Amino acid sequence: MRNKVKVTQFTKREHRDFWLFISPWLIGFIVFSVGPIIAAIFISLTEWNILSPPIWVGFNNFINLFKDKVFYAALINTAYYTVGSVILGTILALIVAILLNQHIRGVTIFRTLYFLPSVTAGVAVTILWLWIYNPEFGLINYFLSLIGIKGPQWLFDTRWVLPALIIMSLWGIGSNMMIFLAALQNVPQELLEAAEIDGANTWYRFWNVTIPMISPTIFLVLVMSTIGAFQTFMQPYVMTRGGPGNASMLYGLYIYFNAFQWWKMGYASALSWIMFIMVFILTLIQFRVSKSWVYYETTEGR
């Protein structure tokens, strides 16, 4: 009986400490995330230029949104960019991680080098790429000219601007590469050895042992990258301002233009809510589909 009381007090103290330690994050989350999300619902039902009191317009912003040609352009561009950057970025990050997981001399230097772009300031990198893509004196077109190819106008070509942004996004694979590297190093050696004894070649070991073992990590990277790609803003803002025409008008950029350049906070909030719903549904689908290909060691892990 005495013991039972002690456990209860301990549990109580544990609970108290839990809430105490988590409270800074929790307060921040409620004030800076949940608060604005709820406020955005109200704002999306108003016409508000920030400076004057909001005017109630009901669902007009949502109705107008579906009549807006740029909204559809932004949606298509963002889908294109997301598919391209997430798939290519994930595959490339995994390949680089596998290469850097080899036990060769100087591998630490290579790991640092590949991770370095991820810690470089975003705008500086963007300006650098602006020069790399310059059709006249940019590095890419210069190298293409050496083999007799006339490079495209990149950021000024409606067909090439999104591929250019996707290629540029690969510059930042370092973070995902590090996550994959950690996952690869956690693949149980005994499983790989057992497969080898069973006669599995390198490809079979990779496909049937490594991939299933790191599938939760691949899933995490896919989900996080998809959300990140949907929110891409800085690159098109600095490099193209959504042009030429609306060819690189990504959804995040369109929200920014509406909110902070054109002073249409209500419309921007409606756009944000649509994006939130889309990303939410997409993530749900990803979770549902993941059941068929993501392997967890414990059933609770699901």
Site residues (vs another protein, CB under 8 A): 49-52, 127, 130-131, 133-136, 153-156, 158, 241-246, 257, 260-263
Which helix (DSSP H) or strand (DSSP E) does residue 55 occupy?
Answer: strand 55-56
Nearest alpha-carbon partner for 232 in 282, 159, 285, 166 = 166
Q: Toward another protein, which CB reaches closer, 219 or 267? A: 267
**96 vs 164 by CB, closer to another protein:** 164
- The CB-of-136 to another protein minimum distance in angstroms stands at 5
| Least spacing, CB of residue 216 vs another protein, in Å | 40
Least Cβ distance, residue 76 to another protein (angstroms): 17
Contacts of 78 (CB under 8 A, 6+ apart): 229, 230, 232, 250, 251, 252
Q: Which residue, 122 or 188, has its beta carbon nearer to another protein?
A: 122
Q: Among residues 93 and 125, whose Cβ is nearest to another protein?
A: 125
Degrees (nearest 5) of the Cα angle 103, 106, 107?
A: 50
In DSSP terms, 56 is beta-bridged to 46
- Give the nearest distance from C-beta 111 to another protein in angstroms: 31
Q: How far apart are CA 220 and CA 75, in angstroms?
A: 24
- Indicate the helix (H) or strand (E) that contains 47: strand 46-47
Distance from C-alpha of 20 to C-alpha of 88, rounded to nearest angstrom: 42
SS3 (DSSP) at 46: strand
In the complex with another protein, the residue whose CB is nearer, 8 or 145, is 145
Closest separation in Å from C-beta 231 to another protein: 18
Task: For 95-156, give the DSSP string.
Answer: HHHHHTTS--TTHHHHHHHHHGGGGS-HHHHHHHHHHHT-TTT-HHHHHHHHTT-----GGG
The span from the CA of 259 to the CA of 213, in Å, is 44
For residue 39, the minimal CB distance to another protein (Å) is: 12
- Identity of the residue, 56 or 260, whose beta carbon is nearer to another protein in the bound complex: 260
